[in-house]
């Protein structure tokens, strides 16, 4: 109980700090923090699917794109305000996620990976070619979000627009895993046959987890649409899916706090790489602009591999280990399957 109370206090303090931040931080930071808030939502969503339920999705980027395009469409064509357009975008992403996930989630095995990968490519093709709705290569341009006389056009206001849903959705996810549904997700990840014997409908809960993850992706995409005020096909390609997969693995599969860490790490990483290239570029004649993108891909891939081999439970586990050594916190309950040996 004490641990829970501490964690609640910690979460409350963090949330308060997060909301006060724009009053004091420089603009560049606020920009990054807004991006971070969006990335947190998407990472938490993928963590629900991959980290908690043990299903691998490679189409997360495309589902964010669906959210972004749907939000843009609702806002521009139907004139809906952002507080309706974004949730509706999430719903559209969830429904499409279900459509792609349904056939493969009926059967056991890695078929969801392939179905989601197919979804990634097919949806990207649709973003490019369904010009009437998506605007093709030009994409969609949005007006700034506005409601009740407030226009979300400054950096600080945009930050609030992103941070409030990020905090809300993270708390929702954290609490989900105290409930019957959340426990069922974990049971499926641990050993799906056993879960089935215990009376958990595999298909229903897998679909629920996948739809929920896609919903989070859709919300993140909708916020991104308002954040950049433009939606183009290039924003939601396969590398985005890998970005969030890396965020989940680096932060810690099966941990909401881990998702925060992972999202923060992955949001800052490109900035750090850019700085590094600037420094190195002074000594060598590098075409920094050309190298940055493939360098990012390489580093994302390496992080994925290294964390999977050496610390499959991510930064959050490393952090807890450091804290434990000081005797500050009790050891967290072990999640069996992510660390123990398990046969196929």
Partner 1 sequence: MSGLQVFLEYTLAGIATGGVYTLVGLGFVLVFKASGVFNFAMGDMMMAGAYTFYLCAVVFDLHWAVALLIAVVFSCALAWLIERTVLRRMMGQPVIAVVMATFGIGFVLRGIAAIAFGSEAYQLPALLPRAPFFIGDIMLPGKSVRGFVLTTGLCGAIILFLRYSRAGIALRATAADQITAYAMGINVRRVFALTWMAAAAIGTVAGVIAASVTSLTPDLGTIGLNVLGVVILGGLNSVGGVIVAGLFIGWLEAMTAAYLPGDIREITPYIAVLAMLMIRPYGLFGTRPVERI
CA distances, 159 to each of 90, 134, 286 (Å):
19, 26, 35
Specify the residue, 83 or 130, whose C-beta has the smaller distance to partner 1. Answer: 130
Is 44 an interacting residue with respect to partner 1 (CB under 8 A)?
Answer: no
> d(Cα 340, Cα 338) in Å, to the nearest integer?
6
Among candidates 206, 232, 214, which has minimal Cα distance to 64?
214
Is 234 an interacting residue with respect to partner 1 (CB under 8 A)?
Answer: no
> d(Cα 44, Cα 173) in Å, to the nearest integer?
7
Specify the residue, 219 or 261, whose C-beta has the smaller distance to partner 1. Answer: 261
Q: Which of 111, 177, 228, 265 binds partner 1 (CB under 8 A)?
A: 111
The least CB distance from residue 260 to partner 1, in Å, is 20
Q: Please check whether residue 29 is in contact with residue 157, taking contact to mean a CB–CB distance below 8 angstroms.
A: no
Site string for partner 1, 126-145 (x = CB under 8 A): ---x----------------
Is 107 an interacting residue with respect to partner 1 (CB under 8 A)?
Answer: yes
Binders of partner 1 in range 282-341 (CB under 8 A): 287, 290-291, 293-305, 308-309, 312, 337-338, 341
Q: Please check whether residue 133 is in contact with residue 73, taking contact to mean a CB–CB distance below 8 angstroms.
A: yes
Binders of partner 1 in range 254-293 (CB under 8 A): 287, 290-291, 293
> d(Cα 325, Cα 237) in Å, to the nearest integer?
41
Binders of partner 1 in range 186-215 (CB under 8 A): 193
Is 60 an interacting residue with respect to partner 1 (CB under 8 A)?
Answer: no
Is 155 an interacting residue with respect to partner 1 (CB under 8 A)?
Answer: no
Question: Which part of the chain contacts partner 1 (CB under 8 A), choosing from 11-19, 20-28, 60-68, 112-120?
Answer: 112-120
The least CB distance from residue 4 to partner 1, in Å, is 29
273: β partners = none
φ, ψ at 141 (rounded to 5°): -115, 130
Q: Which of 245, 256, 260, 316 binds partner 1 (CB under 8 A)?
A: 245
CA distances, 51 to each of 126, 182, 242, 289, 326 (Å):
29, 12, 14, 34, 28
* Range 120-149 burial, b when 16+ CB lie within 10 A, else e: beebbebbeeeeeebbeeebbebeebeeee
Is 47 an interacting residue with respect to partner 1 (CB under 8 A)?
Answer: no
Q: Please check whether residue 248 is in contact with residue 51, taking contact to mean a CB–CB distance below 8 angstroms.
A: yes
Specify the residue, 114 or 329, whose C-beta has the smaller distance to partner 1. Answer: 114
Residue 156: CB atoms within 10 A of its CB come to: 15
CA distances, 255 to each of 19, 171, 252, 274, 335 (Å):
22, 12, 6, 29, 10
The least CB distance from residue 148 to partner 1, in Å, is 43
Q: Which of 84, 95, 113, 164 binds partner 1 (CB under 8 A)?
A: 113
Site for partner 1, rule CB under 8 A: 50, 54-56, 58, 100, 103-104, 106-107, 109-111, 113-115, 117-118, 121-122, 125, 129, 193, 239, 242, 245-246, 249, 287, 290-291, 293-305, 308-309, 312, 337-338, 341-344
């Amino acid at each position: 109980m004490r641990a829970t109370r501490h964690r609640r206090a910690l979460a409350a303090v963090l949330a308060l700090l997060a909301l006060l931040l724009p009053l004091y931080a420089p603009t560049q930071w606020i920009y990054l923090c807004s991006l971070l808030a969006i990335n947190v939502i998407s990472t938490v969503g993928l963590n629900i699917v991959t980290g908690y339920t043990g299903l691998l999705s490679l189409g997360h980027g495309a589902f964010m794109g669906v959210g972004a395009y749907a939000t843009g469409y609702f806002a521009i064509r139907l004139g809906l305000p952002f507080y309706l357009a974004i949730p509706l975008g999430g719903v559209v992403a969830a429904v499409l996620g279900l459509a792609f996930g349904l056939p493969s989630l009926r059967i056991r095995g890695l078929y969801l990976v392939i179905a989601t990968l197919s979804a990634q490519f097919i949806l990207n093709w649709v973003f490019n070619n369904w010009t009437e709705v998506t605007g093709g290569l030009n994409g969609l341009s949005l007006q700034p979000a506005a409601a009740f006389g407030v226009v979300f056009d400054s950096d600080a206001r945009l930050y609030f627009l992103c941070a409030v849903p990020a905090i809300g959705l993270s708390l929702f996810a954290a609490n989900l895993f105290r409930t019957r549904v959340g426990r069922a997700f974990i049971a499926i990840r641990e050993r799906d046959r056993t879960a089935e014997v215990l009376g958990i409908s595999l298909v229903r809960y897998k679909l629920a987890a996948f739809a929920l993850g896609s919903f989070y992706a859709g919300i993140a995409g909708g916020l991104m649409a308002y954040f950049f005020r433009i939606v183009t096909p290039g924003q939601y390609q396969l590398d985005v899916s890998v970005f969030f997969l890396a965020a989940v693995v680096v932060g810690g599969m099966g941990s909401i706090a881990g998702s925060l860490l992972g999202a923060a790490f992955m949001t800052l990483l490109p900035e750090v790489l850019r700085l590094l290239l600037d420094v190195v570029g002074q000594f060598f004649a590098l075409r920094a602009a050309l190298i940055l993108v493939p360098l990012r891909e390489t580093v994302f891939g390496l992080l994925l591999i290294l964390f999977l081999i050496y610390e499959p439970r991510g930064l959050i586990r490393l952090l807890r280990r450091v804290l434990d050594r000081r005797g500050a916190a009790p050891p967290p309950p072990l999640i069996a399957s992510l660390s123990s040996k398990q046969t196929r």
